Amino acid sequence: MQVRVERVNSHVEIVVSDTGAGISREFLPHVFERFRQEDAGSTRSHGGLGLGLAIVRHLIELHGGTVAAESGGAGMGATFRVQLPLTIGRKTAEPRQPDPRHAWRREPGSRG
């Protein structure tokens, strides 16, 4: 597996690639749909409900981003490309120094 993170203009791009099972061209348009699995037969070797990638897409879109999948087909691995906008936070003010007039003073003869 290979992961690459890069800033591209006003967004960050995360690319995850592998050389695994891949995704067929017929299924690729449906890979982010809820409850969709390419191998949904009862003899498949991996469990799951087909929600993982749908949740990924939903979370990324909630943050104003996009996700896409690419694959050359079965046995050719897959690449997932996430783009998230960069938010420029406001610079916070310098930490304020306490006003010495309001500093806590211990009265002579008092405890603690």
Q: What is the pLDDT of residues 11-61, one digit of tens each?
A: 999 999 999 999 999 999 999 999 877 765 544 455 566 788 999 999 999
Among 80, 71, 65, 49, which residue's Cα sits nearest to residue 10?
65
**In Å, how far from its chain's centre is CA 34?**
18
- Tell me if 52 sits within 8 A of 59, measured CB to CB: no
Which residues, including other chains, have CB under 8 Å from residue 67's CB and lie 6 or more apart?
A: 32, 56, 57, 60, 61, 80, 81, 82, 83
Q: Does domain 2-85 have CATH number 3.30.565.10?
A: yes
CA pair distance 73, 91, nearest whole angstrom: 47
Q: Where do the structural domains in the chain lie, given as residue ranges?
A: 2-85
Tally of CB atoms within 10 A around 17: 16
- Given a cut of 80, whether residue 4 has pLDDT beyond it is yes
Q: Of residues 103 and 28, which shows the higher confidence score? A: 28
pLDDT at 107: 55
pLDDT at 42: 46
Q: Of residues 43 and 6, which shows the higher confidence score? A: 6
- Tell me if 73 sits within 8 A of 5, measured CB to CB: no
Mean pLDDT of the chain: 81
What kind and span of H or E run contains 67? strand 66-70
CA pair distance 65, 61, nearest whole angstrom: 5
pLDDT at 87: 77
Quick check: pTM over 0.85? no
